[in-house]
Chain A
Amino acid sequence: MTLLTVGTDCVIARALVDVAPLDQVAAATAAIGTHRPDQIAIVALPAPAGPIGAMPTEAFAELADTTVSFALLVAKAAAQLEQPVRIAIICPADAIHPDHLDGARSVIGAGLTMLVEVAAALPTVTINAIAVASDVPAGEVAAMTQVILSGQTPSLNGTTIRLDGGHDAVLAAETRGEGD
């Protein structure tokens, strides 16, 4: 079993392995070719960036480049190994239901959810995402990641699991009794 962790260097990534993840596409894809890992954790957890309508396109482009483009190219390199590989993408909680107050992360999260959906049909790839709320302990994210990567749930493929304590299960306003 070889685990490679790539992407955002954060407390969650450090909970998976005790070294900084590879955060450059060239380094990450080269490592995939060299080490031929059968488990890859892609951490795509940029800092909150606020509403996307107020964000300059150049800043949004940079965010998309370091998350969606990065994950796509890493997943592509993994698929090209032509050996069984399990991939977990760890992404923001707003990936499924957008939060306009953190719009840029919502949009890149949406792209990552689709990445796992279109990659799930590839014959050698098992891929899932974990949509993580900001207040979830890093150890819990690491535990869920290890479940996904372990192979003990081989039928779990192409899904995005919400790890948010149920926060996103209903509309937030209704949770507070403000909805109708």
Chain B
Amino acid sequence: MTRRALVTGGSSGIGAAICRRLAADGWTVAVAGRSRERAEAIAEEINGVAVIGDAADAAHDPVAVAVAELGGLECAILNAGVIADADLPHTEADDWLHMLEVNVLAVHRHARAAQTALAATRGSLLMTSSDAGVWGETSIAGYSITKRMVLALMRCLAAEWGPQGIRVNAICPGDTAPGMVTTTSGRREPGTTESWLPPPLGATVRAQDVAGAAAFLAGDDAARITGVGLLIDAGMRASSTGWQTAPEVGR
């Protein structure tokens, strides 16, 4: 039987790569995103369905739409996120509240919405956190806080819903191209990879690298893995000075 997945934030960056990877692995995917044009393009490309809406809108229920369209879910990947490029003194209250809403509260809301469908299939939830949620970054203070909260939420739900057969995990991407830096409109200025510090492996993490990790955690090979936040950062969080070991970035 074909497995069915919902991917929020699925119309660009890491989310789009996850949609493509799951489709290549045989999943039928509901691609949720704010942009109708982008979501429908990805859905058409992978023979999935598009779910249009903004994760910041509490009335938006991509889970209900996906369940109705696909007939059920084996996996919900809650990937939609926003970032404000600011340290604490420069974090605007509105930006903080927007990050809290999209990065944490929407994840909580959509996870709860998916619980019944996932319990029915003994499926899994996957949340997108960040390497900044593991080891914070002063320059993206509010974002780091929200992603640490996602990790705690993931662990709590893994324990709470484990008896129902629902696995709950998180991926923690490092600087990824294409990813948030290059695709999120909430950022005041478009990011570039030029300022990124090179990780120990020397190579920038690619969206398809993150998608591979997501596909693993969504799949049967991870049947006994729950409550885990998996770093995909080319070693950046392995050491406080790991960035000094690589000669260049972008290989």
| Chain A residues at the B interface, C-beta cutoff of 8 Å | 51-54, 57, 60-61, 64, 68-69, 72-73, 75-76, 79-80, 98-100, 103, 106-111, 113-115, 117-119, 121-122
Q: CB-nearest residue of chain A relative to B143?
A: A118
Task: Tell me if B50 is interfacial: C-beta within 8 Å of chain A.
Answer: no
Collect the chain A residues with CB atoms within 8 Å of residue B88's CB.
72, 75-76, 79, 115, 118-119, 122
| Sample of 11 A–B contacts (CB below 8 Å) | A53-B156, A57-B58, A73-B93, A98-B156, A106-B155, A111-B145, A111-B149, A117-B144, A118-B137, A119-B138, A122-B87
A113 touching B108, Cβ below 8 Å? no
Closest beta carbon of chain A to B107's beta carbon, Å? 9
CA A106 to CA B153, docked complex, whole Å: 8
Assess the A118–B136 pair: CB atoms within 8 A.
yes
| Contact A60/B160 with A53-B111, A68-B145, A69-B97 known, Cβ cut-off 8 Å | no
Is B133 on the interface with A (CB-CB < 8 A)? Answer: yes
- B residues lining the A interface (CB < 8 Å): 58, 87-89, 91, 93, 96-97, 100-101, 104-105, 108-109, 111-112, 115, 133, 136-138, 141-142, 144-149, 151-153, 155-161
- CB-CB under 8 A from B133, the residues of chain A are 114
- Beyond the given A72-B96, A80-B89, A113-B148, could you list 18 further A-B residue pairs with CB under 8 A, ordered by the A residue number? A53-B161, A72-B145, A76-B88, A79-B89, A98-B152, A98-B156, A100-B155, A100-B158, A106-B156, A107-B156, A109-B152, A110-B151, A114-B133, A114-B136, A114-B145, A114-B149, A118-B88, A118-B138
Taking a contact as CB atoms under 8 Å apart, the answer to whether A53 and B160 are in contact is yes
Asked if B145 and A100 make an inter-chain contact with CB atoms under 8 angstroms apart, the answer reads no
CB contact under 8 A between A52 and B108, given known A103-B157, A119-B88: yes
Residue in A53, A64, A114, A122 whose beta carbon sits within 8 Å of that of B89 in the complex: A122
Q: Which residues of A contact B138 (CB under 8 A)?
A: 118-119, 121-122
Q: Is the CB of A98 within 8 A of B100?
A: no
Give the complex CA separation of A88 and B159 in angstroms: 30
Instruction: Give min CB distance, B126 to chain A, whole Å.
Output: 16
